[in-house]
Structure 1
Amino acid sequence: MPRPVRGIRRGWLLLPLDRRAAKTRPSFLQQLPSNTARPNENLSKADNATKQERSKFARSVLEGSTVALISLLGLGLGGYAYSLFYKRTVRSKIENAFSTGYSSQERVALGRIAFGSEEKVQEIVEKEFWVPRWEQEQVNDIVSGKTRGKYYLIIGERGTGKRALLLEAMRKVNGDGVAMLEAHSELEVFRTRLGKAIDYEFHEDYIGGLFSIRGPRDSTPLLDIERALNQLEKVALSMRKRRGKPLLMVINNIHLCKDDDQGRDLMEILQQRAEIWSSNELVTVVFTSDEHWTLERLIPHATNMHVMNIRDIRKEVVIDSLRKYRARYHNEHVPQGILEEVFNKICANINRREKSWFLNQCWILGDSMDDDVEEQQKFCAAAIVLARALVMREKELADPDGVLPEIPLHECRQIITRADFVRPFDHINVIHIDAWGMVRADSKPMQNAFREICEEEGFEEHLKATLNRLDELESLARTREVSWRAAPDWSGGIVPVQTYCAKISDPRVGGPEAAPSATPPQ
């Protein structure tokens, strides 16, 4: 098959139409001028232009994508670097909170001991911490890290020196490895105090807040507390290798937490961490409490918990310390009789204050009470009955001036025939329940108030009339009866005559008295 001729230029061939012979040869028509564009060339040029435009667009898209990718990569690397820097800074701040020295909360608690020269601090310590306590050595071992593998609940009446024991031990180690905070019933306040104690901001100083980025802070207080404890655990792991002993975290007045769902959840979180940390010797947690319900809440899940029961100092220790203080700082040798007189004079004012508090909270109204106060008077009558039982138990003691009379908790509930009133009595500081479940007066002055009230003339008749009136009101609420009475004679109401009431001595009688001390001595 012959190949087509492609390279020959095409033209038109003219042939004669008539029969006459052609005088000339046929010739080819000349090609069209070059300035006349052909359709194929126009199409190719259009395609080339389109390709060029597409290549320019693709190049610009590629350049923009490359710039954006590099920018995003740089932003991501910068954010990652900032995240690492922020986490390292957070841990460094927590480590600094446990370093030698005192935080702001510890400075407030220590008072004048936290600042001043070494000579001044030593002078203050010798003047303010001169009452010997046998529990001090045990607390010193806990704070210094010698005693480890447990966490502690220090329980005792208010004013017995639980916090003072810890502060004295902290002073001896200069606050090394110690963080202390006060408990609170509101979780938000507790969260803030925990963050302040360990210098943790809960991501509130995170730079993402400048761009309205929702950070880890958007959660509940319990989750924030859990995050803070996680950070503390990481720091404790790193510091354990360097220090060779556990850290110490003190939570004062844990009884201030509410006995509701949130309060129980908080105590559960703290106890779980305390159990794990104590078993691994990472952090020793110390709780202090004035009330027995915290012990009831912690005991069911306690494995490594040790309970320390702190009692008030005895009368002999107070008098002996007063004698040494006057001899050392005033060069006075005070006779025993004068010391006894000073002790009795101070305690008389404290006794009156405690008696007034008890009567204002729990006094009974007798047989003339109105039926509207029935529930409140049931509470008061139970308190008076319990006080009477403690006074009767005191008469059975061989040395009534030595120790306070005690009644087991289950027997106490049986005496007042109510199991739900014992905890409120402990809450208002009328009684105290120790770590062994023994119920006694909250202090020696409170026991003196119980004795004075029960020994007054007419007390037994007044108590019996109150109990009979309560039985009558309860019977009226449970029964229905139809009775007839005469029509009122419009003579007006009759004011009931008060036949008995407890008495409080007037402090103005006998001249001015010394101001009461913060801790009632025994």
Structure 2
Amino acid sequence: MRQYAPLRIPRSIGVQRRIAIRTRPHPIWSRALYNGPPLPNTDPNPVSQDEDGEGGGPKKSKTDWKGTAFKMFESAMTTLASISVLGLIGYSYTRYYKHLVLEKMENAFKPGDPVLELAELSKSMKPPTNLQRGEKTDAEVDHWVIRDEQPDIDDIVSGKEGGHYHLLIGEKGTGKSSMLIDAMHKIDGEGCAMFEAHADLEIFRVRLGKALDFEYHEDNIGSLFSIRGPRDASALLDIERAFNKLEKVALKRRKLVGRPLILIVNSVHLLRDDDDGRDLLELIQQRAEQWAASNLCTVILNSDDYWVYERLKNLATRMRVTPVGDLPKHIAINALKNYRRKYFQQEATERDLEEVYDMVGGRLTFLNRVAKAEDMRQSCETINEVERTWFLNKCWILGEEMDDDVMDQQKYASAAMVMAKALVDRENNMDKTYDDKRGHILPSVPLHEARQIMTRADFIQSYDHINIFAIDSNAMVRADSVPMQNAFRTVCAQPGFAAHLEATLERISAIESLGRTRELTIKDLWNGGSYAVVQKDRKGLVVGEVCFEARPREDKDGEGEDGGKD
């Protein structure tokens, strides 16, 4: 029990009472008030006293646990305040970043487009002509022909025609991309975004992000504190995220403007016809169908190959196909005549223009090349020679002397030659191969018949991809262009071509037959040995038997190897 020392208060204070106080080791105030003898008990570890004044076990005072509770409360509130401020900052940044992403994507559809800027740079190049000093250069040098499909393309790109998505299909060099760029130029690219497709999905993802001004959240500061997960590694998933953001922008635009956005995917045929390419094409088509139904965004796909149309046709309900072919004869000749007059100060005769059209047809890329050349005839001959060389380099046959190691390539080449010969034979049997208004009428066969002629169904798509044969939207197979048809005629007219092709086919058949032949070697037939091949029925009973035995070789005089007669 703790000891308390009595403390006597002087009478001058007026009150005399005995107060029990707890002694502490050497307190300053106790020394000042107490002048008596040393206290009998000065325990350095004092014990507390109960409320009734009696001693007890060790016990903390009320002031001690209140201070501890206050400190705990203070620490908790400080932590809560820090977490709240951090959470508020993170939430505010997230809301700001999402708003910034949508604002950047909206800016991508404002007037002006990188595609138009690149087109302007190409147009600003001087044409190869002798212009007079001070004469103004035409801004439409590369687009000097107005096609009949141009007004329809203008209505689609300007947003006047909605409710559908569109597929432009035609051979390389017919002017599909030029029409789209011209239509964008007329509205200064407002509400339009255009980019080139690619076979690699990662590159496709980057090009789509560049066209939409979307960074796929790679510029988010939160990525500094997180680890890239598996769901972020798929390019197809990032493309889906970009389409989600585009849909939000399109919803806002429809409320403000009332017209849909325009998304143009050029060169869709560059996608590979594999699982990844088909998945991407299916994703684009699903979005195109949905956006066309709600009039949010019009998707325009531009392709040179027929397989894209085949793939899209399976799920298409709102798709419109616009075939783009060669120019008709009168449009091509008038455009060529005007170009030569304006930039060469030359009046081309009708005979020269007819000859040019007969050699290269109405393909816009060929006419553009011929129109800028000093010698038009020489340019036409060069084009035909290039096409013939391309055809021979890809599909020439090697004849009867070919090695068996090249059989797969020769199957591919011989099928193309068989198809080319069939088109030439059909052209010879046609009643009319040229029209005064339409121009060239190239021979064509249905797709299923072409596969039957080649006896292969998988080669025609690759021929279309390398621009040897073309398949139009009506599934008709023909030569890719007039110069390519000229190459077919030249090759098939070579002396001995038919026999050379037949010898190649026979050699391929012989190699295949040799590969299917199996040689069976039977041993142990000498010295009286034999083999028996038996045939059994369902019950296991022998119903037939063939025996193999070795017979001694006979000499010319009829004697066997042992010198005796048979």
Task: Give your verdict on TM over 0.5.
Answer: yes
Deviation string, structure 1 residues 242-299 (Cα, Å, up to 9, x no partner): 1111110000111111111111111111000000001111100000111111111110
Deviations 1:379-431 (A, max 9, x none): 11100000001111212334424221111000001111111111111122110
- For residue 339 of structure 2, the aligned residue among 315, 319, 325 is 325
Distance change (3 Å), C-alpha of 1:309 and 1:110: farther
Q: 1:450 aligns with which of 488, 493, 504?
A: 488
User: How many residue pairs align between the two structures?
Assistant: 446
- Does the 8 Å CA contact 2:232/2:238 hold for their aligned counterparts? no
The answer as to 2:346 corresponding to 1:313 is: no
- What 5-or-longer segments of structure 1 have no aligned partner? 1-30, 484-522
Which amino acid in 1 is paired with 2:422? A
How far apart, in 1, do the equivalents of 2:158 and 2:349 lie?
A: 40
**Closer, same or farther in 2 for the Cα pair 1:467/1:69, shift >3 Å?**
same
Q: Distance in 2 between matches of 1:171 and 1:204?
A: 32
What does residue 381 of structure 2 align with?
348
Q: 2:189 aligns with which of 150, 156, 175?
A: 175
Match of 2:561 in 1: none
Q: Partner of 2:151 in structure 1? A: 137
Over 3 Å counting, the alpha-carbon distance change for 1:48 and 1:467 in structure 2 is closer
Partner deviation per Cα, 1:193-236 (whole Å, 9 max, x = no partner): 11110000100110112334658983311111111000000100
Q: CA deviation at 1:46?
A: 5.6
For the residues of structure 1 that align with 2:386 and 2:459, how far apart are their CA atoms?
Answer: 23
SS in 1 for 2:101: helix
**Residues 86-138 of structure 1: per-residue CA shift (max 9 Å, x gap):** 11111011111011111x344335534599xxxx9x95434332212111111
Partner of 1:381: 414
Q: Which has the higher contact order (CA 8 A, sep 6+)?
A: 1
Specify the code of the residue in structure 2 equivalent to 1:346. S
Matched-pair contact (CA < 8 Å) for 1:107–1:114: no
In 1, are the aligned partners of 2:157 and 2:183 still within 8 Å (CA)?
yes
Letter in 1 for 2:398: L
The residue type paired with residue 413 of structure 1 is: R
Aligned to 1:250, the other structure's residue is in SS state strand
User: What TM-score results when the alignment is normalised by the length of structure 2?
Assistant: 0.74
CA shift in 2, pair 1:42/1:170, >3 Å: farther
Q: CA deviation at 1:329?
A: 3.9
1: CA distance, partners of 2:304 / 2:352: 34
2:350 aligned partner, one-letter code:
Q
For 1:100, the equivalent position in structure 2 comes to 111
Q: 1:90 aligns with which of 96, 101, 108?
A: 101
Give the counterpart letter for 2:185 in structure 1: R
**Mapped pair 1:111 → 2:149:** no
Q: 2: CA distance between counterparts of 1:89 and 1:305?
A: 33
* Aligned-partner residue type, residue 497 of structure 2: F
2:392 matched residue in structure 1: 359
Alignment of 1:166-245 (within 5 A): 166-212=180-226, 214=228, 218-245=232-259
Letter in 2 for 1:47: K
Q: Aligned partners of 2:418, 2:473: CA distance in 1, in Å? A: 23
Is residue 2:70 matched to residue 1:59?
Answer: yes
Q: Name structure 2 gaps, 5 residues minimum.
A: 1-17, 22-38, 42-46, 126-133, 357-374, 435-439, 522-566
Query: Residues 367 and 168 from structure 1, CA distance in 2 versus in 1: closer, same or farther, beyond 3 angstroms?
Result: same
Structure 2 Cα separation of the partners of residues 411 and 36 of structure 1: 126
Question: 1:234, 1:32 → 2: CA distance?
Answer: 82
One-letter amino acid matched to 1:85: Y
Q: Which residue of 2 aligns with 1:497?
A: none
For 1:448-494, what per-residue CA distance to the aligned partner results, in whole angstroms no more than 9, with x for missing partners?
A: 000101111111111111111112112212224699xxxxxxxxxxx
Q: In 2, Cα distance between the equivalents of 1:368 and 1:392?
A: 27
Counterpart CA distance in 1 for 2:55 and 2:203 is 80
Q: Distance in 2 between matches of 1:172 and 1:268?
A: 31
TM-score, normalisation: structure 1: 0.80
Contact 2:123 2:142 in 1 (8 A): no
- With 68-77 and 330-339 compared, the bigger mean Cα shift is at 330-339
Cα deviation code 1:278-330 (max 9, x no counterpart): 11111000001111111111100000001111112245433321211232344
Q: Percent of pairs identical after alignment? A: 48
Instruction: Tell whether the 8 Å contact from 1:277 to 1:283 is kept in structure 2 after alignment.
Output: yes
Partner of 1:75: 86
Q: What residue is the counterpart of 1:392 in the other structure?
A: 425
Aligned partner (choices 466, 478, 488) of residue 516 of structure 2: 478
Deviation by residue 1:499-519 (Cα, 9 ceiling, x = unmatched): xxxxxxxxxxxxxxxxxxxxx
Match of 1:336 in 2: 350
Q: 1:216 to 1:384 in 2, by over 3 A?
A: closer
Counterparts of 2:270 and 2:291, CA distance in 1: 23
Cα 1:127–1:460 change in 2 (3 A) is: same
Compute the RMSD of aligned alpha carbons. Answer: 2.6
CA distance in 1: counterparts of 2:112 and 2:459, whole angstroms: 45
One-letter code aligned to 2:170: G
Equivalent residue letter for 1:108: L
2:140 & 2:409 partners in 1: Cα distance?
48
Asked if residue 409 in structure 1 is aligned to residue 409 in structure 2, the reply is no
Conserved? CA contact 1:202–1:217, under 8 Å? no
* Contact 2:197/2:204 (8 A) holds in 1: yes
Q: How far apart, in 2, do the equivalents of 1:136 and 1:32 lie?
A: 112
- Whether contact under 8 Å (2:268, 2:303) holds in the other structure is yes
Distance 1:482 1:364, change over 3 A: farther
* CA distance in structure 2 between the aligned counterparts of 1:45 and 1:374, rounded to whole angstroms: 105
Task: Name the structure 2 match of 1:10.
Answer: none
Change (3 A) 1:42 1:343: farther
Structure 1 CA distance for aligned equivalents of residues 138 and 316 of structure 2: 39
Aligned 8 A contact 1:217 1:224 in 2: no
Aligned match of 1:369 in 383, 402, 415?
402
Q: Given the alignment of the two structures, is residue 262 of structure 1 paired with residue 295 of structure 2, yes or no?
A: no
